[in-house]
Structure 1
Amino acid sequence: MDIIIHFFRSYPEMAIFLTLGIGFWIGSLKYKNFSLGTVTSVLLVGVLVGQMNIDIPGPLKSVFFLLFLFAIGYSVGPQFFQSLRSDGIHQVIFACIFGIVCIGSTYLIAKIMGYNAGMTIGLFAGAQTISAAIGVGTDTIGTLGISAEKQQEWLNIIPVCYAVTYIFGTIGSAYILGTLGPRLLGGLEKVKNDTRALEKELKQDNEENDPALMNANRPVVFRAYKIESDWFKTPQTVKEIEKHIKEMGRRVFVERVRIDGEVLDITPKTVLKQGDEVVLSGRRETIIEDESWIGPEIFDPELLDFPVEDIFVLLTNKELHKKTVRHLRSLPCMHGIIIKQIKRSGVEIPVYPKTVLYKGDTLEIVGLKREISETAPTLGYVDRPTNKTDMIFVGLGILIGGIIGALTIHLGGVPISLSTSGGALLSGLFFGWLRTKHPTFGRVPEPAVWIFNNLGLNMFIAVIGITAGPTFLSGIREAGFMLFIAGVLATTIPLLLGLLIGAKVFKFRPAINLGCCAGARTTTAALGAIQESLGSTLPAMGYTVTYAIGNTLLILGGVVLVLLSA
């Protein structure tokens, strides 16, 4: 054992990787729907490893935490700024009110319990499941000018309070919003019926028969047919054929033809007759529903040998901002193009005709290569898969944010600043938004964002756990059982008030109300519970805007709570 302890004390970086490896493994384990989650698991494993009294160099955790905050800002930046001037302003105002309720209720509970600034931050981070508040709170405590002994005492108690309150913060949020919430809003069946009615309104008409509006689990197929129907005794143009199919209540595209033995690409004026062969595209069930109008299906490798692309496009065309999917689909350039998926702030939202698009959304589209090459520039910037991150953009972004965050003003002798971590978050917001304006630079691929988010935060949490390990048990005794009760109250009160405010003040439909509460509290686990309970992805339409605002507001709330508590 002495050899093991000596090894980890000599090479503290190995202790961090040990903590990450075991922590991620434990975090992946589930019992039914229960899981500790990665962050809590890493913290607890770090506390265990920290019993070996391992000294971790100071700057290490800050570097990774700054990467995490910049990545968070970068992810939600486009939606954050777009939401401030869009039709979603009601959701923005709701998220601001909800965030103030979260911060205010936590502060009042901590005040009643007599908690110091460290305990208040730990309570806030755990009960509101906003792990990043630990970092900004820690940085802010470091700027207060208090004695080193008191500062260390406050810092040591933060992970204790976080660990005690986080589990109910996660499980309780999912239960309140996913199970209790629908019952409070009129009953589960009533909320389900309202959700189905809202889906029907957003789908409007013909959605089920329109392959341009598809769900990812409904594949598009390309099938070849030999034209034998009597309808083609009079030769028909491609335009007339597609019009005829539409009048049949379906939407299918003509993609390629063989005329007189020669394989050709088509135009709207291409004329087809009996004996010719044609390739049709559309949803599988739409194409095979009735083939008698055209002729028998054939197997023709040469005719079906053509490139089809499935790509992601960053929506940057300002003419399409705040336009619906139906409007987008009606554009001539969208002929033959299928909208497979829409992502906003990294969250997939339903593809309905009345779904409103915003600059910064990512659209996954499918079509022939020539069609994609014509359509993509009209929509915006093609986000082709790459493993290259613009580290100039990331490095300078964090530096600029850190400089701004380090600026300090004094009010009544109290130093006030955003701290370098708060500055990195705001910088990420700005640079994420800037890329929607100039998408040719500043690319941070989704896998890189995942690494910055997960490795950045958990590396920071691992160091926090290892450092707090020696004093963790004494901290548990000091905090007492009432800390858990305080966490339950700090989790529950804002969620119940949020549901009430959303329903009575903002008049949100139940599914949107539940999604807004989950987003404003930045609890993805609760969003999953809501969607499972309602059997619909519709709540995601209330999640994205409020998530962008809530994430920013709650993280910066860590700064506010330290200043208020101190």
Structure 2
Amino acid sequence: MAWIETVLRTYPPIAVFIALAFGYWFGKFNYRGLGLGAVTSTLIAAVAIGQLNIPISPMVGSFFFLLFLFAVGYGVGPQFVRGLAKDGLKQALFAVVVCLLCLGSTWLAARLAGYNAGTAAGLFAGSQTLSASMGLATDSINQLSISGAQKQSLLNEMPVAYAVTYLFGTVGSAIILALLGPKLLRIDIVKECADYESSMGGMNHAQSGDLAWHPYEIRAFQVGETTAVNGQTVSEIEHLFPHGGVFIERLRRGTEILAAKSDAVVKTGDILAITGPRHVLIDVIGAHAKEVDDRELLSVPMEGIDVFVTSKAIAGKTIAQISKMPEAHGVFLCKISRGLTGEEIPLLPKTVVQRGDVLSVSGRTADTTIAAKAWGRVDRPGSITDVMTLALAITIGCLIGAITIHIGSIPLTLSTAGGALIAGLITGWIRSIHPTFGYIPTSTVWFMNSVGLNVFIAGVGIASGPTFVAGLEHLGAGIFLWGVFATTLPLVLSIFIGKYLFRFHPAILLGACAGARTTTAALGMINEIAHSQVPTLGYTVTYAVGNTLLTIWGMVIILLMT
């Protein structure tokens, strides 16, 4: 044991890696999406390791924390900017209100309990489940005009309050929104989501089969003398299936294979290569036409690709509108992913596509190529990060954030952390318009986002380890109860504000509350109870705004408490 202590004190980075290993291992255990998570597990492991009095340089944590904040801004940039635009302004304003409620409830709890600024920052980060706010709080504490010992005392109490209040912050948020929320609204969330889908042009299973992830196939059918489509054009036949997404790829006439032009007239004896959902091909077309095994005709190059949306031509348009565009011919939309968390958006006719969305489409290679060129660019996984843009953006953001303006004795500054966050927002937004700019692979964004934050948290935990137990004894059980208060009050108020003031549809209201509080676990439980992905429509814009503001509130809570 003495040898291990000597090694860890001599080589502190080893302690960080141990904390990460245990943190990610324990963090993967959850029940229905609810668990401690990697961040809290890493903090607990780091605090345990910190009992050995291991010296840890704050520079390591600061470096990774800047990478983390940039990655956060980079991921939510398109949705954040869209939230400030006209079509997302209502949800953005709602997110601002919720974030102010979160800040106000924490400030009130800290004042009533008599906590100092460090405990208040930890209470805020844990009760609102936003670990990133501790980074900005740390920067703000370090800029206070107090002694070094006083600063360290505040910094030591922050992770204690965070660790105690985080569990209810996560589990309680999911319970309040998913289980208590529908009762407070006096609604049947399943029925509300079904009604919303209907209002958005959705259909029941009997009419359309699954709304997403259709098992698309290509099959060949021969036109007989009594076939209803005999004598009609390709375009007319395709329009017989307005909800089925059926396309004629090409046709065989005698021994010749012809391209299926829209004005081509189908004749008796023609064999048509048709793509569409399996249930339409088998149950509808197969019941009225003879299926033929024509391997040469069916040898059509098909592919599935992801398209990163950048074009104004489809941004802001519904799926129904896009489906009528010439470049959409022969293309099947399988999934829409949106935001940093890649949330799947419901595929409904009135679902609106936005810049920065990733459309998963399938179809004939020639058709998907045309669609990708018109809508944006193929989002093929790359392996090379535009490090120059990343480093330059963080540098500029940090330089701007380093500017401090004093109002009396109070220093006002974005801090280098805030500057990195804003740099990420701007970079991510610009890339949604110019996809060749500032490319960062998804895996790299994940590393910066997850590992970046956890290295910072590990450093905080190891540094505060020797005083953690004493701090926990000092704060007592009261900190947990105040955490319950700070978690519950803004969520309950936001449910009623969303219903009566913003008048959101009940199907998306709870998703909007989850997004503004950046609680993905709650969204997962809401979707599970609703048996629908509709609540996600209220999540993405509010998540982008909430993630940004709640992070910045880590600095604001320090200013309010000093």
Residues 264 and 63 of structure 1, relative CA distance in 2, 3 Å threshold: farther
Aligned residue number for residue 311 of structure 2: 317
The residue matched to 2:552 in structure 1 has which SS?
helix
Report if the CA contact (8 A) 1:134-1:558 is conserved: yes
Q: Give the alignment partner of residue 446 of structure 1, picking from 442, 448, 451.
A: 442
Aligned residue number for residue 113 of structure 2: 113
C-alpha distance in structure 1 between counterparts of 2:254 and 2:447, whole Å: 55
Aligned residue number for residue 46 of structure 2: 46
Q: Which aligned pairs between 1:344-383 and structure 2 lie closer than 5 A?
A: 344-345=338-339, 346-383=342-379
Residues 265 and 55 of structure 1, relative CA distance in 2, 3 Å threshold: farther
Instruction: Please state how far the C-alpha of 1:538 moved relative to its aligned partner.
Output: 0.7
C-alpha distance in structure 2 between counterparts of 1:32 and 1:320, whole Å: 36
Instruction: Please state how far the C-alpha of 1:202 moved relative to its aligned partner.
Output: 0.7
Q: Give the alignment partner of residue 387 of structure 1, picking from 356, 367, 383.
A: 383
C-alpha distance in structure 1 between counterparts of 2:38 and 2:139, whole Å: 23
Instruction: Please state how far the C-alpha of 1:291 moved relative to its aligned partner.
Output: 3.5
The residue matched to 1:52 in structure 2 has which SS?
coil
Aligned residue number for residue 246 of structure 1: 241
Q: Which aligned pairs between 1:67-82 and structure 2 lie closer than 5 A?
A: 67-82=67-82
Report if the CA contact (8 A) 2:61-2:459 is conserved: yes
Aligned residue number for residue 182 of structure 2: 182
1:334 partner letter:
A
C-alpha distance in structure 1 between counterparts of 2:494 and 2:133, whole Å: 21
1:387 partner letter:
S
Instruction: Please state how far the C-alpha of 1:225 moved relative to its aligned partner.
Output: 2.9
Matched, 1:131 2:142: no
Question: How far does the alpha carbon of each residue in 1:328-386 deviate from its partner, in whole angstroms, 9 at most, with x for none?
Answer: 11112111111111122122111111112222222121111111121212212222221
Residues 492 and 274 of structure 1, relative CA distance in 2, 3 Å threshold: same
Matched, 1:413 2:413: no
Residues 391 and 90 of structure 1, relative CA distance in 2, 3 Å threshold: same
Instruction: Please state how far the C-alpha of 1:93 moved relative to its aligned partner.
Output: 1.1
Instruction: Please state how far the C-alpha of 1:109 moved relative to its aligned partner.
Output: 0.9
Instruction: Please state how far the C-alpha of 1:206 moved relative to its aligned partner.
Output: 9.4
Question: How far does the alpha carbon of each residue in 1:141-163 deviate from its partner, in whole angstroms, 9 at most, with x for none?
Answer: 11113100000001111111000
C-alpha distance in structure 1 between counterparts of 2:229 and 2:380, whole Å: 45
Report if the CA contact (8 A) 1:214-1:340 is conserved: no
1:158 partner letter:
M
* TM-score, scaled relative to structure 1: 0.94
Question: How far does the alpha carbon of each residue in 1:271-302 deviate from its partner, in whole angstroms, 9 at most, with x for none?
Answer: 44444433211111111113456633333443
Matched, 1:498 2:478: no
Instruction: Please state how far the C-alpha of 1:427 moved relative to its aligned partner.
Output: 0.8
Matched, 1:329 2:326: no
1:487 partner letter:
G
Matched, 1:527 2:523: yes
* TM-score, scaled relative to structure 2: 0.95
Question: How far does the alpha carbon of each residue in 1:94-113 deviate from its partner, in whole angstroms, 9 at most, with x for none?
Answer: 11111111101111110111
Question: How far does the alpha carbon of each residue in 1:190-242 deviate from its partner, in whole angstroms, 9 at most, with x for none?
Answer: x332221111101256997679x9512x2111122344453389555422432
| Percent identity between the two aligned chains | 46
The residue matched to 1:289 in structure 2 has which SS?
helix
Report if the CA contact (8 A) 2:244-2:277 is conserved: no
C-alpha distance in structure 2 between counterparts of 1:35 and 1:519, whole Å: 18
2:389 partner letter:
F
C-alpha distance in structure 1 between counterparts of 2:328 and 2:33, whole Å: 41
Aligned residue number for residue 393 of structure 2: 397
1:312 partner letter:
D
Q: Which sections of structure 1, spanning at least 5 residues, go unmatched?
A: none
Aligned residue number for residue 156 of structure 1: 156
C-alpha distance in structure 1 between counterparts of 2:207 and 2:261, whole Å: 23
Q: Give the alignment partner of residue 512 of structure 1, picking from 508, 513, 518.
A: 508
C-alpha distance in structure 2 between counterparts of 1:544 and 1:511, whole Å: 14
Q: Give the alignment partner of residue 489 of structure 1, picking from 472, 475, 485.
A: 485
Matched, 1:215 2:212: yes
Aligned residue number for residue 88 of structure 1: 88
Aligned residue number for residue 254 of structure 2: 260
Question: How far does the alpha carbon of each residue in 1:118-154 deviate from its partner, in whole angstroms, 9 at most, with x for none?
Answer: 1010000000001100111001111113100000001
Deviates further, 152-161 or 387-396: 387-396
Report if the CA contact (8 A) 1:311-1:382 is conserved: yes
Matched, 1:4 2:4: yes
The residue matched to 1:281 in structure 2 has which SS?
strand
Report if the CA contact (8 A) 2:70-2:421 is conserved: yes
Aligned residue number for residue 196 of structure 2: 198
Matched, 1:306 2:300: yes
Alignment RMSD (CA, Å): 2.1
C-alpha distance in structure 2 between counterparts of 1:167 and 1:483, whole Å: 12
C-alpha distance in structure 1 between counterparts of 2:560 and 2:180, whole Å: 33
Task: Work out the number of aligned pairs and report it.
Answer: 560
Report if the CA contact (8 A) 1:229-1:292 is conserved: no
Report if the CA contact (8 A) 2:127-2:165 is conserved: yes
1:398 partner letter:
I
C-alpha distance in structure 1 between counterparts of 2:278 and 2:327, whole Å: 23
Q: Which aligned pairs between 1:452-463 and structure 2 lie closer than 5 A?
A: 452-463=448-459
